[in-house]
Structure 1
Amino acid sequence: MMQLQQFSDTAALNHDFACRLVNILQQAIAERGVAYLVVSGGKTPQALFSALSTTDLAWDKVTVLLADDRWLDDSQPDSNERLVKATLLQHNAKAARFISLYADTASAFDGVVQVLPRIATLPTFDAVILGMGEDGHTASLFPCSAQIQHGLAADAPAVLATEPTTAPYQRISLSLPRLLNSRHIFLHLVGSNKLSVLDKAMAGTDVFAMPIRAFLQHPVATVTAMYTA
């Protein structure tokens, strides 16, 4: 199920979004002593990350990880891990624990055996922030990849390697069931083109053609789409 929340501009969206996330993480810490936040890379969340990084929160009790990453070490410009460390894990948020999705192996497929144990035993996430590509992919669950059925399967492992044919690099991604295992799921969208993609996703039912549908149309999970043009 999807709930769409529209904002007048990116500043309003980021302010509201940051406040919501802080409240969610504070509640988690109060109730369970720790909090788990899953984020996505790309240009869209950078201002949000910067805003979050200075918030007054017990960041030493927060674990941050990515929904997916390119199979690159964090010295590479296209690494999502590099972006998160440079924008989110700064200032107050520098105290957070970060779990990497990278391992020093020849390929993402070789690296899964090292990354999977880091993720498989984690409890329910408190908040997951997803992005969405114009092809309807989310995380690194690409419709063009040979691994898409595996990643969307109900019994998929927590982590899998993918190799999209329409985007560079091998990827490492959390699977559909691992991402759905969260108390709050958000979809962060900026730009009128993304609203068109969202409308298209809601109009059809083939999850393999547009993997974001597996989240938006899930019979139990609620996804809150945070959108501004």
Structure 2
Amino acid sequence: MDLRVYKDKQEVAEQFSNYFAEKVNKAETFHVALSGGSTPKIVFDVLAQNFSEKIAWKNIHFYWGDERCVPPTDEQSNYKMTVEHLFSKIAVPQENIHRILGENDPNREALRYANLLEINLDRVEDVPQFDLVILGMGDDGHTASIFPHEIELWNAQDHCVVATHPDTGQKRVSINGKVINMAKEVAFLVTGSSKAEKVKAISEKTEGFEAYPASLVNPKSGNLIWFLDEKAAFGLSKN
């Protein structure tokens, strides 16, 4: 694990944006899976404000690692958040945006999106391969929409799965662990003191850490970076 610790959310967003721009501008075509959440929202703001003219947006194809089963106009939609904070402010071709249709039947949509990934992405060992998967981590150690109570979905046969939020019962469509771990690169964006306990458990492999889906992120490429703020990294041993 490459752990990179920065002062606060804003610095995490700025450093990740620099990293993202460098990756993208080296590639003719770049396929990225986006994450929802508060930290990506700040990242999108930084990208829109500081990189709108510095990134070849036409070369990037955007996907989502997961999406809530709500319409694209709903405040909970990851797609809506990305439009408001990024897509509406940059010159990205509409055909480069491949959203999960959260308004559709979840099971059918999981099949459709898995098929889309299989068509659009190169496949390695029969698994679609992203250039980059961006992940967040919940307070419970979940990532994408693979929650601890459904950790078996990580190794599901289908490349996209239907997950259920443990508290609200809300359905979500998510890529599975095989797709995450086949990516050329995986980057976690994790900020805030509520994440510190799980960050420590996963990075230091303390007892019971395997119960957290985020601990299963181990890309075959070996390219795994955690972008953390000081609050999320609190408690990590200094070495």
Under a length normalisation based on structure 2, what TM-score does the superposition of the two structures give?
0.83
Superposed CA deviations along residues 77-103 of structure 1, whole A, max 9, x for unmatched, are 111111111112132253361111116
Partner residue in 2 for 1:68 = 66
CA distance in structure 2 between the partners assigned to 1:172 and 1:116 by the alignment: 10
Q: Is the 8 A contact 1:89 1:95 kept in 2?
A: no
**Is 1:203 aligned to 2:206, yes or no?**
yes
- Number of aligned positions between the proteins: 217
Q: How many percent identity over aligned positions?
A: 21
Superposed CA deviations along residues 38-59 of structure 1, whole A, max 9, x for unmatched, are 1110112111111112411111
Partner residue in 1 for 2:15 = 16
**Is 1:141 aligned to 2:146, yes or no?**
yes
Question: What's the secondary structure of 2:166's corresponding residue?
Answer: coil
Partner residue in 2 for 1:95 = 93
Question: What's the secondary structure of 1:144's corresponding residue?
Answer: helix
The verdict on how the C-alpha distance between 1:204 and 1:28 changes in structure 2, with shifts beyond 3 A counting, is farther
From 72, 83, 92, the equivalent of 1:85 is 83
Q: Is the 8 A contact 1:144 1:166 kept in 2?
A: no
Superposed CA deviations along residues 183-229 of structure 1, whole A, max 9, x for unmatched, are 2211101112212211123324664x21111015x676332110112
CA RMSD in angstroms comes to 2.0
CA distance in structure 2 between the partners assigned to 1:4 and 1:92 by the alignment: 30
CA distance in structure 2 between the partners assigned to 1:166 and 1:192 by the alignment: 21
Under a length normalisation based on structure 1, what TM-score does the superposition of the two structures give?
0.86
Question: What's the secondary structure of 1:90's corresponding residue?
Answer: helix
The verdict on how the C-alpha distance between 1:206 and 1:11 changes in structure 2, with shifts beyond 3 A counting, is closer
Unmatched 5+ stretches in structure 1: none
Partner residue in 1 for 2:41 = 46
Question: What's the secondary structure of 1:135's corresponding residue?
Answer: coil
CA distance in structure 1 between the partners assigned to 2:93 and 2:221 by the alignment: 34
Superposed CA deviations along residues 142-164 of structure 1, whole A, max 9, x for unmatched, are 1123xx31x221x6322111123
CA distance in structure 1 between the partners assigned to 2:40 and 2:118 by the alignment: 25
CA distance in structure 1 between the partners assigned to 2:220 and 2:65 by the alignment: 21
Question: What's the secondary structure of 2:25's corresponding residue?
Answer: helix
